[in-house]
Structure 1
Amino acid sequence: METEIVVRNLPELPRDVLMDIFALLEIPDLMRAASVCSSWRSVYTSLGSELQLYKRPQTPCLLYTSESAADNVACLYSLAEKRVYNLTLPDPPIRSRYLIGSSHGWLITADEKSELHLLNPITCQQIALPSVITNERVKPVFDDAGTIKEYEWWEPKHDIELDCEVDGHHKSTHALDKLRDLFYIRARIFPDPSTESYIVVLTHSESRQLSFARVGDCKWTLLPVGYDYQDCIYMDGLLYAFTSFGQIDTFDLNSPTITRNRIIGDMKTYTQGRLYVLQAPSGDLLQVHRNLEIQDTDDDDEEFIFVTNNILLYKVDMAAKDLVLVNDLHDQVLFLGCNQSQYLSAEEFSQLKPNCVYFTDDDTCASEDKNCCRDIGVLNLENNKREEILPQLWCSWPNPIWVTPSLARMNWGCTNK
């Protein structure tokens, strides 16, 4: 009550002055300011509709759920402020969804019918992506009333040595809420400057194939068959896809006929570990390899867990077809997990620790162990020591994920059949 009286008695600042002040705030702090009074809320709304006035770089936040909150509430932990915000999100409830990606402020989620949505947790805008049954690998099975009752998943047989499909498929049948357990691996959102739009790239199936859809599409387009894609990145008008064996393929998604172009068949240097790809501000293409170790636990229901014990960073030398070890990040910071990997400057984001990697669990089989402890923390690359981000107060499902807050909105109308 005392705070309300103080705010009510404050002199009203000119709107343009408030706009200039609010434009300096990060989004979590901006949301808090918007709750003070109606005039401040109006300024916040204006910034959201005039994004050219709001270009403040955003520190990634950890999004998770809590058993103490409602099923439709997500918790957003701000690294910049070291505080938690509760966000009430649209249905279906966030705790019933799987989180398979985070890019440019958007979550990519899978609901209980294994359908995908884009969700901006700040603006609460939600967009349904093309149905799972528009993916060439999935076919609907109908009951007598004509309602979809389950899915058939057709997985092609693949010759690893020849790197090609062979005759025949493995067919399996799954309940509506079970397909997402096995079919989805990871999703990314990429801006497409050529169309001033966005592209969603989906990694799926046991063979880790790629499909994509752009704004306006009503179905997924399966890319020419590759195998074992671990991560991908969109740059210079091409999609670069990386396999765990060191190969790099490119796809021109704007071509009338999309073909696979293998630009690197075998890397001279090859390393094990979970693979992430990102582009440094210098333009260099980087590969990050995250190694895990098994640790015993004191929990009778959980005999062991996998934890990050080492992260190695490499520059991709395209000409030499080799990986060049990068010893440290200096004043740079990495964010790894189910999110699209990020490479930031600790000088620009003063709350972040230089030469460190902030990571979350991205185990693709995590849904099988929903109650397990998650591998989340900060790893210092100089001494290889890790520390916790905050006490583990989150639910272990859906997996906590990094998200960079954004006020951006997206138009996704189904126009292309």
Structure 2
Amino acid sequence: MATCSIMSLGRLAMALCSAILGSLHKLSALLPHIEEEPSMVEAELPEDVLVEILSRLEIPDLLRASSVCSSWHSAYTTLHSLGQYKRQQTPCLFYTSESAGENVGCIYSLAEQRTYKITLPDPPIRDRYMIGSSDGWLVTIDNKCEMHLLNPVTREQMALPSVITMEQVDPIYDESGTIVKYKNWWQSWHDGVMFFSSPRGCTISPRWEQLFLTGRAFVFSETSTGKLLVVLIRDPFSQLSFARVGDDEWAYLPQYDSYENCTYKDGLLYAVTNLGEIHAIDLSGPIAVVKVVMGKAMDIGDRKRNTYILHAPWGDVLQIWKTEEDYIHPSEDDYDAVLKNTASIEVYKSDLVEEKLVKINRLQDHVLFVGHNQTLCLRTEEFPSLKANHAYFTDDSLSWITEFKNNRRDIGVFNLEDNSRDELVSPQLWSNWPSPVWITLNLAKSNLILDMIFKDGKSIEADNALNYPGDFSHMLSFDDPKMLEAAAEGGLGGAAATEREEGSGGAAAALRHSGRGGGHGQPNPAR
């Protein structure tokens, strides 16, 4: 415990040094004031400068810093309440573990190479399937086919419209009035006219049948309203449904199908089909307006390939093709021996003028995240713990995940230079169901008090009267006697002791280090 605590303090010190160096343009304005003071020790940084420094920290470091002393906590409160915390987060892997408990979510930090555990609200997270992850939100569907938005850091949870409000879904009730099945209508459209419709019974158990109602989900902040927009790519023909948080029902885009992935920019939803065709969709009006901005790139789709779309930091629209292969593991038996591996990941620029794809052989100093998350392309200069010219991937093959839910998940780091792959961490931390997803942590919401904390591997009731940063300091063992002694030697003893005397409780995280993480990629020269 003491070793882990000292490492946490050391990490905070390093992060603060980096943040201060990045804020020198504001700190320079303080020099005349500091020189007039008789003692540098007695001088305190103005709150606006502290806010600037804290705004450059990732969420775990931010919460550590906010627990150091009252002035730093005040700066954190200002930063959070004014919505000025905009720092991009290094993606983490969200997963569950049978040993952790039914309601516990685990977050593996690539930046810290450690795991945090958070107790989440009902329904149990291990009974849900995670169909999407965007901007800190998980989109989940449980074994009753009820969908929620969940922020695992703040524990904020919001119900989404019922599946029975979808155009093609009819509920089937038993004698007691309980929904036991859904009738999912298969519809096919051409030029705005439906020419085929057929019902299909869909039980709510086993779990994989959920995906006849929903498949893949995305969350975007809508430009025109500022509301959260949830987009579903759903069976039976990979069509689009969408709703805004607070809506009572799902809207439906029936004329088009075969969508695989989507992204959002400047008020438009961009969706890509399994043939590489790109549609720009305006959802702001009473009727969705669809424009084909790039025709199909091929005539026949590949069922073993997943296609992703995103806007790159340099402005291009990219398509990512991830191809999978099946193989039989020699050390396993029969059903459990069927495994899936990512065989290749290819990156293409979508030339919307010429309406063609141009292959990109090297991403230089950028890195990709693909899976059941909003597809990301990040600069390794801003995220030094990530490997340049690599793709971090999770298993998002819908049929594979649902039909072989107990088999090993295909998760790792893919080298775009030589098509080699590495394990993300070894030994494996996660359960195979529900399948893990990438998530970028988000503190945007205000519900920051957690019901449970973890310390020494045990769950402990948290005091809900305490502030969240105080809880987090306890999670980091700032109230541990050896930690206080170490902090005092480093000049932080008074601050940590003050927080302890004020009764700071614990946050929902585990002090468990695990394996190697994302590695340290060196940024390459600009493209």
Same fold by TM-score greater than 0.5 = yes
1:314 paired residue among 348, 366, 371: 348
Larger radius of gyration: 2
Q: Does the 8 A contact of 1:98 with 1:109 survive in 2?
A: yes
Is 1:166 matched up with 2:195? yes
Tell me the residue number matched to 2:318: 286
1:354-410 deviation per Cα after TM superposition (whole angstroms, max 9, x unaligned)? 111111111112122221111111111112221111121210111111000011139
1:6-405 aligned within 5 A = 16=47, 19-33=51-65, 44=76, 47-52=79-84, 54-157=85-188, 165-175=194-204, 178=207, 179-267=209-297, 272=302, 273-297=305-329, 298-300=331-333, 301-365=335-399, 366-391=401-426, 392-405=428-441
Distance change (3 Å), C-alpha of 1:36 and 1:184 = farther
**How many residues are paired up?**
404
Q: SS at 2:369's partner residue?
A: strand
- 1: CA distance, partners of 2:153 / 2:43: 27
- 2: CA distance, partners of 1:218 / 1:205: 21
Cα RMSD (Å): 2.9
Which deviates more from structure 2 when the two are superposed, residues 332-341 or residues 231-240? 231-240
Q: SS at 1:308's partner residue?
A: strand
- 1: CA distance, partners of 2:301 / 2:198: 31
- 1: CA distance, partners of 2:395 / 2:55: 33
Q: Which protein has the bigger strand share?
A: 1
Q: Does the 8 A contact of 2:237 with 2:258 survive in 1?
A: yes
Q: Does the 8 A contact of 2:261 with 2:309 survive in 1?
A: yes
Q: Does the 8 A contact of 2:204 with 2:210 survive in 1?
A: no
Tell me the residue number matched to 2:443: 407
Displacement after TM superposition at 1:267 (Å):
2.7
Q: SS at 1:302's partner residue?
A: helix
Q: Does the 8 A contact of 1:66 with 1:395 survive in 2?
A: yes
Q: Which protein has the bigger helix share?
A: 2
Query: Which ranges of structure 2 fall in alignment gaps of 5 or more residues?
Result: 10-41, 448-527
> Structure 2 length normalisation: TM-score?
0.70
1:238-287 deviation per Cα after TM superposition (whole angstroms, max 9, x unaligned)? 22221112322232211222243333343379884210000011221000
Q: Does the 8 A contact of 1:277 with 1:341 survive in 2?
A: yes
- 2: CA distance, partners of 1:405 / 1:12: 34
Identity of aligned residues (%): 47
> Structure 1 length normalisation: TM-score?
0.88
- 2: CA distance, partners of 1:380 / 1:368: 29
- 2: CA distance, partners of 1:387 / 1:214: 39
Query: Which ranges of structure 1 fall in alignment gaps of 5 or more residues?
Result: 412-417
